[in-house]
Structure 1
C-alpha cells in the first residue's frame, strides 16, 4: 500500500487546490502566535510576502520537471527535494531570517508529505476503475455474441472477400492486444482512434454496412496524450445500446477537435425505437462512471465527461487538457 504519491502538477485544478490550501494555512498560522488583531494582520501579510513567490516558483519548477519526477523511482523524494531547494533559493534571494529556516522547512515538509499522502488516498479510491475498465473491456471482447459473430463473419468472407476477412482477424487481434496492455499507461489520440476504427470496422462487417455506419471528424493532433482505452468502450456502448436493439439503420458520429489547450470529443448514437425501450440494456451509465473515475485519476478535475439525450440521439461529451505525448 502506497502511503505517498506525487500528484500531476500539470493539472490546473491541482494547482488551484494548492493555492487554496496554502491560503487557508496563511490565515490560520498567525492565530497560533498573534497576541492582538494588529499582530494577526501584520504576521499574515509578512507570511504572504514570502510564501506567495515561494509557492509560485516551486510550482513552476515542478511543472517543468513533472515528466522526469513522475518517471523517477523515488518520485516522492524528488518532489520533496525540489520543494526544499526552491525554499532555500527563495530564502537566499529574498533574505529570509536564517534563524527561521529550520522551522519553515519543517512546516513545509509536513505540508508536502501531507499533500502527497492525500493524493495517495485519492489514487487508492479511484484506482479500482483502471482494473475494472480493463476487465470490463476484456470481458466484452470475449463475449460470445461479439467473438463468435466476428469469427463467423471472417469465415464467411474467406472465399469471397479474403481481404476483408484478413482485416477482421487483424483488428480482432489488435483489440485483444490492447486489452492486455497495462491500463495505467497513457496512450496517444492517434492510437485510440486506430483501435476505435478497427472495432467499428469489425462491427460494420458483422452487422452489415446498411445497418451500421460511422462518421468521423478529427481535427486534433494524433500525438496528444490520452488515457488508454478512451474511445473504444464508448463506441461499444453506442453499438450495444443504440444500434443492436434497433431494427433501423443507425449512424455513430464521432467528433474530435482541439481548441486552444483543450481537446473536445463528442460521440452521438441513435436511441432505440420507443417499442424497444422496455428492453433497454443495462451498463451504459456504469461505463460512463468508470470513465469519469479514470479521467479524474489522470487529469484531476481538469477533464469532464457528461451524457445527455438530444431528441432521439444519445450524446457523450468529453473535454480533456491537451498534452503532447513524449
Structure 2
C-alpha cells in the first residue's frame, strides 16, 4: 500500500483516520450475534405491521426471517473478508462498497426466494424484490451510520483520556521537582560531591517527568525513580530517614503509570518522616494476590493531622484518577491507619507493561 496516498486520504477524510476502520470486526462471534439479534427484531416489527387481525403473522415472520438471516450472515462474511481492503478506503467509498455488496447479496437471495414463491415471473415477484432491495439499502445505511457514530465517539473518548492523563501527570511534576531542587541547593555549599550525585539523580527524575507520551512503564522503572528520589531525601534527612524494600522480583514487568509511586513516597516523607524529630522508616512493598498486584507505601502515622494536608489530598486524588483512567474500576487506591502506621495501598490488575501498551 502506498503510505503517502493513505496519509492523504486520512487528511481528507477524518473518518478514516489512524484510529482504525469504523465498522467493527464482523469476523468476531459477538459482532455477528448482535447483527442476527438486531435483524430478527426488525423482522418481528415487519411481521407485526404485516399482520391482519392478529399480533404476529407467523408465516410471514418465518419466511422473511429465513431470507434476512441468510442475507445478514453472507453479507457479514463478505464484509469480513473484504475488511483489510475496505479499511484502506475513505469512509464514503467504503460505505458505497458495503452497501453495494449487501444490495447484490439481497438481490440474489430475494430473486431465489421470489422464484420459489412465484414460479412464473409476475409483477408481484419483482415488486417483492424491489421492496427487499430498498429495505436492505435503508437498513444498511442506518447500521453503518450507527457504526460510524460509535467509532467517532470512541475516538473522542480516547483523545479525552490522553489529554486527561497528560494534564494529571503535568500537575504532579512541579511538586517533586521543586522539593528536589531545594534539597540540592542546601547541599552545594556543604557537600558539593554529594550535590553532584544528587544532580545526576535529579536529571533522571527530569527525564522521567518529560516523558509525557508514555502512559505505562514497567514497575522496575518506577521503583528505580523512587530509589533516586529517596537518595536525594536521605542526603537532606540523614539518619532520620530509613527505607525498607519488600519487593517481589517477579513483578518487575508489572504495568504502572509513570510517576505513580514517587508522589506517594514523597508524601510519606514530608508528612510522616520530616515532622518527627526522631524520623522513621518508609516501607515500600509489592506483592501479588490472584489477578491483582498490591503496592504498599507505609510510614509512621503523620502528626497533627498531616495526612489531611492539601498537597497530600491532591497527590492522592491525581494518582487515583490516573490509574482509574487507564485500568478502570479494577484499579483502587486507598489509605488506612493502624496503630502508629499509615499505609497507602495501590491495587492494579496483574498485567505486564508490554501487554498493556
**TM-score normalised by L of structure 2:** 0.59
Q: Does 1:122 align with 2:157?
A: yes
In 1, are the aligned partners of 2:280 and 2:300 still within 8 Å (CA)?
Answer: yes
SS at match of 2:253: coil
In 2, are the aligned partners of 1:192 and 1:229 still within 8 Å (CA)?
Answer: yes
Shift of 1:175: 0.5
Equivalent residue, structure 1, for 2:183: 149
**TM-score normalised by L of structure 1:** 0.64
Q: Does 1:137 align with 2:180?
A: no
**Mapped partners of 2:227, 2:180: distance in 1:** 16
In 1, are the aligned partners of 2:294 and 2:345 still within 8 Å (CA)?
Answer: no
**Mapped partners of 1:5, 1:315: distance in 2:** 39
Shift of 1:157: 2.9
Equivalent residue, structure 2, for 1:319: 348
Q: Highest Rg: 1 or 2?
A: 2
- Give per-residue Cα distances to partners, 1:161-208, cap 9 Å, x unaligned: x4x444322111110111111244432222111111111121122112
SS at match of 2:293: strand
- Figure out how many residues of one structure are paired with residues of the other and give that number: 282
- Give per-residue Cα distances to partners, 1:111-147, cap 9 Å, x unaligned: 433333333443455445323333323211342x441
Q: 1:13-162 residue pairs with structure 2 within 5 A?
A: 32-35=45-48, 36=55, 106=141, 109-123=144-158, 125-143=160-178, 145-153=179-187, 155-158=189-192, 162=193
Q: Does 1:215 align with 2:245?
A: yes
User: Which gives a bigger RCO, structure 1 or 2 (Cα 8 Å, sep 6+)?
Assistant: 1
Whichever structure has more helix as a proportion of its residues is: 2
**Mapped partners of 1:259, 1:279: distance in 2:** 28
Unaligned runs of 5+ in 2: 1-13, 21-29, 49-54, 81-86, 111-132
In 2, are the aligned partners of 1:308 and 1:316 still within 8 Å (CA)?
Answer: yes
Shift of 1:277: 1.7
SS at match of 1:315: strand
